[in-house]
Structure 1
Amino acid sequence: MPITTERPEPGITVVTVNAPPVNALTVRGWFDLGDAVRAAGEDPECHVVVLRAEGRGFNAGVDIKEIQADSGYTALIGANQGCAAAFAAVYDCAVPVIAAVQGFCLGGGIGLAGNADVVVASEEATFGLPEVDRGALGAATHLARLVPQHLMRALYFTASTIDAHQLHHHGSVHSVVPREKLDETALDLARTIAAKDTRVIRAAKQAINGIDPQNVHRSYRFEQGFTFELNLAGVSDEARQQFLDRGKNAG
């Protein structure tokens, strides 16, 4: 199963993404991830969620092959709705969500990390939105939660990446550690939160979300509208196919 849930210690729920080779999720995978995070928060025995991944990287976004294999727009609509559901599940989770990021965090990965309450990362972790190179738009909403506005724009327009140390400098990554210490670092932070009165922490999560200056759900869906326009114009299909062809040639 690409999405698994476990309770390694009292009060701590760990949701793991494991979808080789690069943790690019299918439509079903995005919805399953959202369901797992939401269910964890609804469990009164859960005080904090750790969102992590196995493999080379945290998340590479949507499964482009699935979208290209669909002659219509069903997979595209499903991917957009699935991403929105998963991002919302992280943001709206009744308890704090800690994202433990290793390797690459791209596209949809930015949506997850950007909506998390705390981010810890491995030393080699990189973050970015390659959307403009794929003929799509989205998750600028979440990248803007990780970096200042002008840097977000530069990264977005150039499809460039930024590393964990730079994000730590901006204060959006809590700690940067060697890859082998990432899981324990996330768990250690989770233990500190789990030890608090969960009634207070759950109220605090609602309060903090309530004073957020940006409505992340509305702004992300606004971005997605332009993705649909690009798809209707045929731009996105061309870009996705070029990406897949480059992968074939590299192989």
Structure 2
Amino acid sequence: MGVSTTSPERGICVVTVDFPPVNALPVQGWYDLADALRAAGRDPEIRCVVLAAAGRGFNAGVDIKEMRRDTGHAALIGANRGCYEAFAAVYECEVPVVAAVNGYCLGGGIGLVGNADAIVASDDATFGLPELDRGALGAATHLARLVPQHLMRALYYTSRTATARELHAHGSVWKVVPREELAAAALELAREIARKDGCLIRLAKAAINGIDPVDVRRSYRFEQGFTFEANLSGVADRVRDTFGKEGAQ
């Protein structure tokens, strides 16, 4: 359980997230993920990173149970800072990051894949931001990198999800495969990237980030301010209490 790192082939690092039962990450989990991604990017032998997850789904966001156990704001602040670091670590990884998405990709999961360089998904994968149903805000910055602006807004306001095939149609998912073929498909793309010159691929990553029209770190940080406002006003607690009564995790 936790975040693990393997190197199945030369030039490729696979970072796997495993937090049963639903891959809702605790505060420390986000920091551990950020550390693993940054370490992989610093390794001169690595030319591509695959970000994957074990279990039923890719990511269910933050651990709401951890937040409920906290009588103050430490867990909220920790989760916000941890997410911020993990999302940034994907974006700023010195080599390309391929996200291998299985099952659900929700909340914080959108922050991760929205900052990835490429996405390979299983045919049962769904993507969405149920934040408004959970008393939170954020990651619209990253959803906007996956779908067009008006669709992003509709998905955000309704808390609906989009399928992997829908995202493929929008061009944000590279390939959709049966779940049992996901790992192989992600490695196939990573392998093709890893064949490039190591120095050149790192320059390419830096160059592409440099021409990005949106500063994802600043944009997401702006969103986080409204999450704090929702919590300080009591709105977040009210919505989270309702969410808990409906039998959610």
TM range (shorter): over 0.9
The CA deviation at 1:135 is: 1.4
Structure 2 counterpart of 1:8? 8
Structure 1 counterpart of 2:69? 69
In 1, the alpha carbon distance for the partners of 2:145 and 2:247 equals 31
Deviations 1:18-63 (A, max 9, x none): 1011100000000000000010000001110000001110000000
The CA deviation at 1:198 is: 1.0
Deviations 1:229-249 (A, max 9, x none): 00001111121222222227x
Number of aligned residue pairs: 249
1:30 match: secondary structure = helix
Structure 2 counterpart of 1:155? 155
The one-letter code of the counterpart of 1:211 is I
Deviations 1:164-204 (A, max 9, x none): 00000000000000000000000011111111101110000
Deviations 1:60-83 (A, max 9, x none): 000000011100000000000000
The one-letter code of the counterpart of 2:243 is F
In 2, the alpha carbon distance for the partners of 1:54 and 1:245 equals 28
Structure 2 counterpart of 1:237? 237
Are the aligned partners of 1:65 and 1:244 in contact in 2 as well (CA < 8 Å)?
no
The one-letter code of the counterpart of 1:82 is G
Q: 1:108-147 residue pairs with structure 2 within 5 A?
A: 108-147=108-147
In 2, the alpha carbon distance for the partners of 1:29 and 1:213 equals 30
Overall identity of the aligned pairs, in %: 69
In 2, the alpha carbon distance for the partners of 1:200 and 1:154 equals 39
1:7 match: secondary structure = strand
In 2, the alpha carbon distance for the partners of 1:24 and 1:245 equals 18
Question: Which runs of structure 1 show a deviation greater than 3 angstroms over 4 or more consecutive aligned residues?
Answer: none
In 2, the alpha carbon distance for the partners of 1:241 and 1:23 equals 21
In 1, the alpha carbon distance for the partners of 2:93 and 2:57 equals 23
Structure 2 counterpart of 1:35? 35
Structure 1 counterpart of 2:56? 56
Deviations 1:4-26 (A, max 9, x none): 00111111000000101110000
In 1, the alpha carbon distance for the partners of 2:236 and 2:117 equals 32
Q: Which runs of 5+ in 1 are unaligned?
A: none
Tell whether 2:218 aligns with 1:204: no
Q: 1:185-200 residue pairs with structure 2 within 5 A?
A: 185-200=185-200
Alignment TM-score, normalising by the size of structure 1: 0.98
In 2, the alpha carbon distance for the partners of 1:206 and 1:42 equals 13
Q: Please, what is the CA RMSD of the aligned residues?
A: 1.0
The one-letter code of the counterpart of 1:112 is L
